[in-house]
Amino acid sequence: MKLHSQILGEGQPFIILHGFLGMSDNWKTLGNKFSEAGFQVHLVDQRNHGRSFHDDEFSYEDLSNDLKTYCSDHQLKDIILLGHSMGGKTAMLFATEYPELVSKLLVADISPRFYPIHHDAILEGLSSLDFQQIKSRGAADEQLSRYVQEPGTRMFLLKNLYWIEKGQLALRINLEVLKENVSEVGEALPIHSKFEKPTLFLRGDKSEYVMPTDEKLIKQHFPLAEIETISNAGHWLHAENPTDFYDTVIKFTSLI
C-alpha cells in the first residue's frame, strides 16, 4: 500500500509530514515556496489521513515504515525531513531508524517526550457528524462548534470533508481507527533512539508543546539539535506565522 503525495519542483528531496487529523494540503502554500527555493518538495499524506490508504494498524513504527517504503519507491536519499506534531514524531523516529537517508531533520512544535491524550473533544465532535443529516460544510461547522469552540481549529478539521457524490459528504480520515489508536499519538520516542546530524526544533511562542524542560531530552536524542522559537504563533506555527517559519527553515536548510 502506497502513500499519496503531492510532489512540487525539482532539487534536493524535502519531505513534509502533517500532524494528527491533518493532510498534505495543509502545507501546499509553504510547499510551493520551498519548491521555488530549489527543493523537490514531497507533501505526504500519512496512513489513515488525506488521500492515503486506510489500515487498522496505526503506530509510529507503522508510519516510519510507510515512509521508508515511500523513499524506496521514489528512490529518495539525502532527504531534508520536516514533520509537524504527529508528523514530527514520525520524522524523529524515521531519522533515528534510517539516518543514512536523512541529511537534516526539522521538527515543528513537538518534543520526543510522552504526551497524554488531549484530543477527546475533537474526536467526539467529529464522531457526532451525521452525514445523513448534514448536507453542507456550514451545517458540519455548526455541529462541530458544540465540541470545538475555536474557529481556526474547526476550519483545520473540516478540511477533511469531501463529497463522495453529489449531496453526500464524508471525512477523508479513518476516524474509527484513529479514535481506537489515539493513545499511540502521544507515545514517546524510544529511549535509545539517536540522530547525530543537523536537527532543528521549532516551537511556537504561544504553544506549550515544547517547553524549556524538554531541551535536555531533545539533546539526548539529537545531540546537534538547535531550538528556535517562532513569535506570534501557537501549535499551528507554520499557519499562524508562515513568514518567520519559512525564513527560519530556509536559513537552516541552506546551511552547508
**What CA–CA distance (Å, rounded) separates 31 from 41?**
6
97 is catalytic: no
Q: Please give the full DSSP string across 142-189, using - where no structure is assigned.
A: HHHTTT---HHHHHHHHTTEEEEETTEEEESS-HHHHHHTHHHHTPPP
**What CA–CA distance (Å, rounded) separates 155 from 62?**
28
235 is catalytic: yes
The catalytic position among 18, 42, 84, 235 is: 235
Q: For residue 211, what is its C-alpha cell?
A: 517547553
Angle between helix axes 151-158 and 137-144 (nearest 10 degrees) is 130
Q: How far is CA 128 from the centre of its chain?
A: 24
142: Cβ–Cβ under 8 A, 6 or more apart, which residues?
none
The catalytic position among 5, 52, 85, 207 is: 85
**What CA–CA distance (Å, rounded) separates 248 from 70?**
27
Q: For residue 137, what is its C-alpha cell?
A: 460544510
85 is catalytic: yes
The catalytic position among 124, 176, 180, 208 is: 176
Residues annotated as catalytic are 85, 176, 235
